[in-house]
Amino acid sequence: ADETPLRVSVIGTGYLGATHAAAVAEMGFTVIGVDHDPAKIAALERGEVPFHEPGLPELIRTHVQTGRLSFTTDLAAAVAASDVHFICVGTPQQASSHAADLSFVEGATRAVAEALTHDGLIVGKSTVPVGTAARLREMVDAAAPAHLHVELDWNPEFLREGYAVEDTLRPDRVVIGGASPWAEEQLRRLYGPAIAAGAPVVTCDLPTAELVKVSANAFLATKISFINAIAEMCEKTGADVTTLADAIGYDARIGRRFLNAGLGFGGGCLPKDIRALTHRASELGALQVAGLMQQVDEINMSQRQRVVELAMEACPVNILNARVAVLGAAFKPDTDDVRDSPALNVAAALHLRGALVSVYDPEASATARRSFPTLSYAATLEAAVTGADLVLVLTEWPEIVGADPVTLGRLVAHRAVVDGRRCLPAAAWRDAGWRVRTLGSAA
Ligand code: UGA
């Protein structure tokens, strides 16, 4: 086997790229992270990450020190110094059509192809609509210097925010799409430590690799919308959806994870990926998938509306000028990401109805303020609830779930709480004199 050390470039240093670059350095290879934003590059060199991701700043600092990890804005220099080039740029949702915006992926891939000075492997990691990689391959063939051996493959990423480092170093599986034996060998070397630790390798063609990624997220989203649909039945009949999820989850074919009913999914991936899938499926005439995904999206968005209605019902005073404490702004705990956050969506809807909304989040206040500057933000949980007529729990941070209902009860104007994540110990809150309304439970 070839033992020359692999040199790697990673184009794009957002969530995916920064984590991937650090992880590849941790696995023993030399990595150059590339981004067009000089401020971002300077910060990364100091080990500063512009988002909250446990363990990532430390890992970056470690490998900037070992010399295995560096950052640059000079794409051509990075490409010239590397053998494997990962495309890790974003594929945001287009405002008009809900389709994925592929301009960054296309731009980065073209730039790498044009900058190649020796044989190389371009590996796409971004989440793209099926069919994209084949088009990129043609583009690379046309753009790369003709005398070089260049290959484009697809290797999707499945990391979760908040667990990005762990998920990248110990993935559930490694998917390698479109690779020739030579390229597969390179990628197996690169992921050697993860494979040795037991991660199965799935080799497939380009469209399968692209669709594996999209289907995984679509399935997770479907699980959540499924349990939220069942929660509506529970709400009407007095059945308990949490016990139900436990009970069906014991069946290994079903599994308990991603069956937590509540406000539903948000973030930078699940919502945009199911919409991109709906769009791509319609283009391809795969109408069943498009319909299914549309339904999953609708159920998910209606959860936000239901929490707004529940809040209106539960508010002991007129919602106009009512003081509403919103606990949680991030789309899930352990992140400061507020992209498509259900919590902020609900907060903004109540603000529009005239409520005086005070938002508290342990990590996401600053990012939330940037996206929703008209809401007011409290520095502590206590400050947010002081004088409140209604408390809404919208992100299940441990600090919020574990808050003492007796202490909080002394601070509020009215002891009324709506649990949008089914995460509070309702009995303890009721014992402390609170009226508790829980999404998915009968009144
Ligand atoms: C998701 C996938 O879980 C990752 O595997 C994937 O790699 C990533 O998208 C991506 O495509 O990059 P992430 O967006 O970090 O990861 O968030 P999740 O942990 O999946 O949570 C998504 C949302 O679902 C959150 O808003 C969460 O509150 C909600 N959720 C999750 C529920 O409402 N119920 C559940 O039972 C689980």
**Digit-coded pLDDT (tens) for 114-164:** 999 999 999 999 999 999 999 999 999 999 999 999 999 999 999 999 999
User: What backbone phi and psi angles, to 5 degrees, belong to 171?
Assistant: -70, 155
User: Ligand 1 pocket test: which of 160, 299, 331 has the largest number of ligand atoms within 8 Å of its C-beta?
Assistant: 160
Q: Does any domain span residue 209?
A: no
Mean pLDDT computed over 372-400: 98
* Final residue before a domain boundary, out of 185, 204, 223: 204
Flag whether pLDDT at 1 surpasses 60: no
Residue 201 per-residue DSSP state: E
Flag whether pLDDT at 98 surpasses 90: no
Claim to verify: residue 25 and residue 160 sit in the same structural domain:
yes
Please give the number of the atom of ligand 1 that sits closest to the Cα of 262: 33
Containing structural domain, residue 393? 303-438
Average pLDDT, the chain: 96
Burial 87-105 (b: 16+ CB within 10 A, else e): bbbbbebbeeebbbbbebb
What residues does ligand 1 touch, defined as CB less than 6 Å away? 127, 158-161, 217, 220, 224, 258-260, 262, 264-267, 269-270, 331-332
Q: Does any domain span residue 31?
A: yes
Claim to verify: residue 229 and residue 343 sit in the same structural domain:
no
Q: Does any domain span residue 227?
A: yes
Give the model confidence (pLDDT) of 16-62 as tens digits.
999 999 999 999 999 999 999 999 999 999 999 988 899 999 999 99
Claim to verify: residue 325 and residue 358 sit in the same structural domain:
yes
**Assembly ipTM:** 0.97
Q: Whose CA is nearest to atom 29 of ligand 1?
A: 265
* Final residue before a domain boundary, out of 302, 317, 348: 302
Mean pLDDT computed over 370-392: 97
Q: Whose CA is nearest to atom 36 of ligand 1?
A: 258
Classified as helix, coil or strand, 51 is: coil
Q: Does any domain span residue 361?
A: yes
Which residues have CB under 8 Å from 374's CB, separation 6+? 348, 351
Mean pLDDT computed over 371-381: 97
Find the CATH number of the domain harbouring 169: 3.40.50.720
354: left (phi over 0), alpha (psi -120 to 50) or beta: left
Give the model confidence (pLDDT) of 267-290 as tens digits.
999 999 999 999 999 999 999 999
What is the torsion angle, in degrees rounded to the nearest 10, for the CA atoms of residue 309, residue 314, residue 316 and residue 320? Answer: -20
Burial 122-140 (b: 16+ CB within 10 A, else e): bbbbbbbbbebbbebbeeb
Claim to verify: residue 220 and residue 243 sit in the same structural domain:
yes
Which of the residues are catalytic? 269
Number of H helices and E strands in the chain, helices first, is: 19, 14
Claim to verify: residue 130 and residue 222 sit in the same structural domain:
no
Claim to verify: residue 197 and residue 94 sit in the same structural domain:
yes
Would you state the pLDDT for residue 50? 87
Flag whether pLDDT at 2 surpasses 90: no
Claim to verify: residue 347 and residue 298 sit in the same structural domain:
no
Handedness of CA 396, 402, 405, 411 (dihedral sign): negative
Give the model confidence (pLDDT) of 318-354 as tens digits.
999 999 999 999 999 999 999 999 999 999 999 999 9
Q: Does any domain span residue 77?
A: yes
% of the chain beyond a pLDDT of 90: 95
Claim to verify: residue 310 and residue 298 sit in the same structural domain:
no
* Final residue before a domain boundary, out of 302, 319, 345: 302
Claim to verify: residue 140 and residue 271 sit in the same structural domain:
no
Claim to verify: residue 315 and residue 196 sit in the same structural domain:
no
Distance 161 CA to ligand 1 centre (A): 8
Give the model confidence (pLDDT) of 184-197 as tens digits.
999 999 999 999 99
Would you state the pLDDT for residue 264? 98
Distance 263 CA to ligand 1 centre (A): 13
Q: Does any domain span residue 273?
A: yes
Give all strands of the β-sheet with 7-11 in edge-to-edge order: 69-72, 30-34, 7-11, 84-87, 120-124, 150-154, 174-177, 201-204
Q: Does any domain span residue 2?
A: no
Flag whether pLDDT at 4 surpasses 80: no
Q: Does any domain span residue 1?
A: no
State the pTM of this model.
0.95
Would you state the pLDDT for residue 95? 84
Residue 86 per-residue DSSP state: E
- Number of domains present in the structure of the chain: 3
Please give the number of the atom of ligand 1 that sits closest to the Cα of 163: 15
Euclidean distance between CA atoms 84 and 52, whole angstroms: 28
Would you state the pLDDT for residue 5? 75
Find the CATH number of the domain harbouring 273: 1.10.1040.10
- The pLDDT-based confidence of 3 (bands split at 50, 70, 90) is low
Claim to verify: residue 193 and residue 268 sit in the same structural domain:
no
Instruction: From 173, 182, 176, 125, select the one nearest 151 (Cα to Cα).
Output: 182
Q: Whose CA is nearest to atom 2 of ligand 1?
A: 160
**Residue 33 near residue 129, CB atoms below 8 Å:** no
Would you state the pLDDT for residue 443? 78
